[in-house]
Structure 1
């Protein structure tokens, strides 16, 4: 086969952009989040889905420093103004195409990592407070053990603690809902970018490949 035909075949096949870990983590975190979101009343499933999401978030953050080129934060982390300009151009159908994450996509990746992590952490706190279970349970057991004598002041402390638990529970649900909103916005952005740039970005996150130009 000639060099010309090999070049044409390579252009048709595209180039490898997303490594296997990025793709697996992306879809597993998405699945885990929705499973956790929809199974709040099924505690075992809800908790284990949260554990999976939390573990993958930690791994993805580490991979953002040592992973493949387009997986690294240094490749796509940008300032909000650059992301805003990209979104403006995207809505005008004249945005620059990026092989890796676009500026808006990069901001969204970081925002999702932050809010997913916050959802998991507040969920662990709530689980420890309400169920006395999970990795933070020993901490709350120690707090209870050294809570002092059962005096009037102790009763006031318990009331304040219950108020705090209610606030943390509210925070967990609110942050989870904000995260869901980010996911919806992310999906809409992917659809718009796919239309403007004439490529299937969801498929690229499955195959790992994107066209050359």
Structure 2
């Protein structure tokens, strides 16, 4: 049940759906998988590989969902063109970026970059299991470098979510759990 009084007018709901269940499950499953592979599971061992393949499968499914999913899950809804991104970054630097219901242009670029790194991590991880690349140090180093880059990107992503939550007085972490934001 939605508390309409909290939104300021009886006709306006307190929150509206933004991120569907698939997007939220994808997000938190990738978080869990990356945390497990980064901090709990030993690289090169079967559990690490299984989790890596699961994350790669999630990324593949999310790419499909980006074309056929609900409104705010679709890339066309949130992936910006260069001019839109430049205008958003300029407004952000001036402290005047507008609040967005879905992902803002900078977040959209980060999401695409995170998915790209995850995809390449999956490919390089898989390649390390092939006879053709067995023991190839350059490949293992590339995989590790990408894993380190991913951790840095995740820190930036999380910090940006916290800062945007504070600036716009909206708990984005909670929104990624409930799927709802204020209108």
Instruction: State whether TM-score is above 0.5.
Output: yes
Q: Choose between structure 1 and 2: higher helix proportion.
A: 1
2:180 corresponds to which residue? 209
**Kept after mapping to 1: 8 A contact 2:128/2:134:** no
Give secondary structure in 1 for the equivalent of 2:130. Answer: helix
**Kept after mapping to 2: 8 A contact 1:80/1:107:** no
Q: Does 1:78 align with 2:49?
A: no
2:33 corresponds to which residue? 32
Q: Does 1:110 align with 2:112?
A: yes
C-alpha distance in 2, partners of 1:89/1:198?
A: 18
Gap runs ≥5 in structure 1: 130-139, 141-160
TM-score w.r.t. the length of structure 2 is 0.87
C-alpha distance in 1, partners of 2:163/2:90?
A: 12
Pick from 57, 63, 66 the counterpart of residue 64 of structure 1: 66
Q: Residue by residue, what CA displacement relative to the aligned partner does 1:14-59 show, whole Å, maximum 9, x if unpaired?
A: 1000000000000001110111122234712211110110110000
TM-score w.r.t. the length of structure 1 is 0.76
Q: How many residues are paired up?
A: 177
Pick from 142, 164, 167 the counterpart of residue 193 of structure 1: 164
Gap runs ≥5 in structure 2: none
Greater gyration radius: 1
C-alpha distance in 2, partners of 1:162/1:11?
A: 57
Task: Report the RMSD for the aligned CA atoms in angstroms.
Answer: 2.3
